[in-house]
Amino acid sequence: MLSPAEWDALRLSARVALWATLLCLPFGILVGWLLARREFRGKFLVEALVQLPMVLPPVVPGYALLLLLGTQGPIGRWLYESFGITLAFTWKGAVIASAVMAFPLLVQPVRVAFRLIDSRLEQAATTLGATPWNAFLTVALPLALPGVLAGSVLCFSRSLGEFGATMAFVGNIPGETRTLPLAIYSFMNVPDGEGAALRLAGLSIALALFALAASHWLTRRAERQLGYLDHRVPRA
């Protein structure tokens, strides 16, 4: 049903989105927890920085990545000279671009999840011999799991659809950086490409709906398993 070029785009998108989500997860959990639980100087700046990709034209973060991580950029040159890693115009760069753009969508639900957890549960854990890190791992993180799952699915879906930043940072190279949205755009611009563009657009919609349904189902399941719903019952 799909042509080899269309399959390529689909496979590449899935791979990029998966890696972007995995890359975002540890940072997303850390930042979500910090924003929910800690007051510190410059908190507003961290919040703004996290949200920035959502309100900027996507091409701007993409361009910024090119300036920083491109072969001539300060970090990009260092990565190449020290480790032989090139990000610009490679699928790994597409992972970075997607991760930056999808990060806010992960942080938001994670932050809300941590905020909903009564911090006295972690205090109770520390009075039972758990270090704060231990209390985080055994109490806060499992209770925040529904939020982490929901955020991960959103992050994954957003990565599947990333266009502007990817285009600016890693271009539109078939088989390397031409993900679903870029393939759709490319097919739209060639004669007779309409059928392929339409198929891929339909596929994108189906994938997005599937991801949202999966997120809903996973969250509900986690909430039930964790007895999480009960946890929010007002106390007497």
CA-to-CA dists, residue 127 to 12, 120, 130, 132, 137, angstroms: 49, 10, 7, 10, 15
Query: In the 8-state DSSP scheme, what is residue 198?
Result: H
Among 35-43, 97-105, 170-178, 228-236, which window interacts with other proteins (CB under 8 A)? 228-236
Q: Does 26 bind other proteins (CB under 8 A)?
A: no
Among 57-65, 122-130, 156-164, 172-180, which window interacts with other proteins (CB under 8 A)? 122-130
d(CA 22, CA 155): 10
Q: Which two tokens stand for residue 108?
A: 């938001």
HSE at residue 52, side-chain half, CA atoms within 13 A, is 13
Among 40-48, 60-68, 131-139, 156-164, which window interacts with other proteins (CB under 8 A)? 131-139
* CB of residue 86 to other proteins, shortest distance in Å: 44
Between helix 194-226 and helix 141-160 the angle, nearest 10°, is 180
Q: Given candidates 44, 83, 128, 191, which one binds other proteins under the rule CB under 8 A?
A: 128
Q: Given candidates 48, 49, 75, 124, which one binds other proteins under the rule CB under 8 A?
A: 124
Contact between 114 and 176 (Cβ < 8 Å): no
Query: CA geometry: angle at 104 spanning 102 and 107, to 5°?
Result: 115
Closest CA to 155 of 218, 101, 91, 216: 101
Q: Does 226 bind other proteins (CB under 8 A)?
A: yes
d(CA 10, CA 3): 11
Q: Does 41 bind other proteins (CB under 8 A)?
A: no
d(CA 186, CA 73): 28
Q: Does 115 bind other proteins (CB under 8 A)?
A: no
Q: Does 234 bind other proteins (CB under 8 A)?
A: no
Q: Kindly tell me which of 132 and 175 has the beta carbon lying closer to other proteins.
A: 132
Q: Does 121 bind other proteins (CB under 8 A)?
A: yes
Q: Given candidates 34, 68, 130, 218, which one binds other proteins under the rule CB under 8 A?
A: 130
Q: Does 139 bind other proteins (CB under 8 A)?
A: yes
Q: Kindly tell me which of 42 and 227 has the beta carbon lying closer to other proteins.
A: 227
Where do contacts with other proteins occur on this chain (CB under 8 A)? 118, 120-121, 123-132, 134, 138-139, 142-143, 225-231, 235-236
